[in-house]
Amino acid sequence: MMNLMINLSNNIFTLSKIMSKLEEWNEKLDVFAAKNLDSPWIGMVIFLVLMVFAFVAISGYMKNR
């Protein structure tokens, strides 16, 4: 029983660290978006990167079938 409580405590602590890191990244992303995403050129670059990633992912998936 004590082992279970220690493991649960460690897992909660680990999840807490992960959540704090995600919140930190979210704040950094918000600052980046506020500065740079007003430009249509940045939006176009992000869109093209996402399109290339999608095509690569789909082609990789189709090769494995």
Residue 12: the pLDDT is 81
Q: pLDDT at position 6, please?
A: 72
Domain ranges of the chain: 2-64
Q: For residue range 1-49, list pLDDT tens digits in order.
A: 667 677 777 778 888 889 999 999 999 988 988 887 787 888 889 899 9
Contact yes or no for 47/55 (Cβ under 8 A): no
Q: What is the CA radius of gyration of the chain?
A: 20
Q: What are the C-alpha distances in Å from 2 to residues 5, 9, 13? A: 5, 11, 17
Looking at the predicted structure, is the pLDDT value of residue 51 above 80? yes
Beta carbons within 10 angstroms of residue 42's beta carbon: 14
